[in-house]
Copies of this chain bind each other. A is one copy, B any other.
């Protein structure tokens, strides 16, 4: 695969002859499944991860190590790590809240950690019952467990908007990144639109400013939600600003805890569609992914979204 470059913004020149490459990070098995109440049998989860891999996805956030009492859906994390190790070239990303759970994940063979702290103090408190400065300590402890040149994803939750306080000032994002990146700068940083209320102007502006402020960041990533219909538009804005790594969830699984009944994560198959049409290489075959998305959408209790699945399944029915 071509090296994924961050920075640069020659998008407006059009796609013909372009060498643009993006990496899609599938977060459905973690971010999507965690909001499904009914326990999804482990073998079903593993089969879905295998089929995601079959469709061409090479980075999948397969699970999280967290309190089983708080999140029983993730109780089979070890089994997922073991299964993921069997899949060739799969970069299995594991979400961990602190060193205790990171230690547990390491003991099962996990390598690539995804860490998170909210830019918004109130959201961090509500989400993990920690002050931001305490979460920085937790993050430092996780970093101490992994090789200093190994892969680390650092997620800035509520980087654009907080469900409690509305638009998040850029200064709150910088407060957090100043501290997190002083611990280690060459990590991948994702700016996350947790509520789906970011807009394309804000996305472009923050990524451009942050990329200029923190030049040593290894890669910038965008984690977007489609709750207000801007999943693809915000991803486009991030792409314009030079971002080349995008989180997405198959079938748009995930929901939105702040708007029950609304959709959450942008659907992977929708971003694949957009980048395919734009001539941007992403490595995923929607011919394989969409039937899987249709199956995931039928999981009991799944709150799903996306448009491409519906459109392509409808067309398939029309042409059958």
Contact = CB atoms under 8 A, between A and B. Distances in A.
Interface residues of A, number: 51
A201 B231 CA distance: 17
A155 B305 CA distance: 31
Contacts of A308: 228-229
Interface of A: 11-12, 14-15, 196-202, 204-205, 226-233, 235-237, 240, 256, 258-263, 267, 270, 273-274, 277-279, 305-308, 310-315, 317-318
> Which 3 pairs from chain A and chain B are nearest by CB?
A199-B277, A229-B307, A262-B311
A311 B259 contact: yes
Nearest to A160: B277
A279 B311 contact: no
A312 B259 CA distance: 8
A96 to B, nearest CB: 30
Contacts of A279: 201
B200 A236 contact: yes
A270 B231 contact: no
Contacts of A230: 232, 273-274, 277
B14 A201 contact: yes
A198 B278 CA distance: 9
B197 A277 contact: yes
A205 to B, nearest CB: 5
A15 B311 contact: no
